[in-house]
Amino acid sequence: MGEAKRLIRMSLSASVEFFNGINWLRVHKSYSVNPEYITKVSSENIWVDGDKVPVGRFYMDDVDAFLQNNKVGE
């Protein structure tokens, strides 16, 4: 059986601290993703297990640098 999705209501910085064993990639002021689950990448979005997540303009350079240095979505 697959893993269930869970909704946790807390600030993004608190959730990153709570799940400190995961290498989070900040992609938007409201979103961080676990890079292990990225399945597709476009210029303005990242897909995580089929869910589209926007990439904020402020974070695009950091996301591009991360993607160039890591094998993601292959």
> What ranges do the domains of the chain cover?
12-69
Q: What amino acid occupies position 9?
A: R
The pTM (predicted TM-score) of the whole model is: 0.72
Query: Residue 53's beta-bridge partner residues?
Result: 46
List the beta strands (DSSP E) in 1-74.
Answer: 25-28, 31-33, 38-41, 45-48, 51-54
Q: What is the pLDDT of residues 11-55, one digit of tens each?
A: 888 877 887 777 888 899 989 898 889 999 998 999 998 899 999
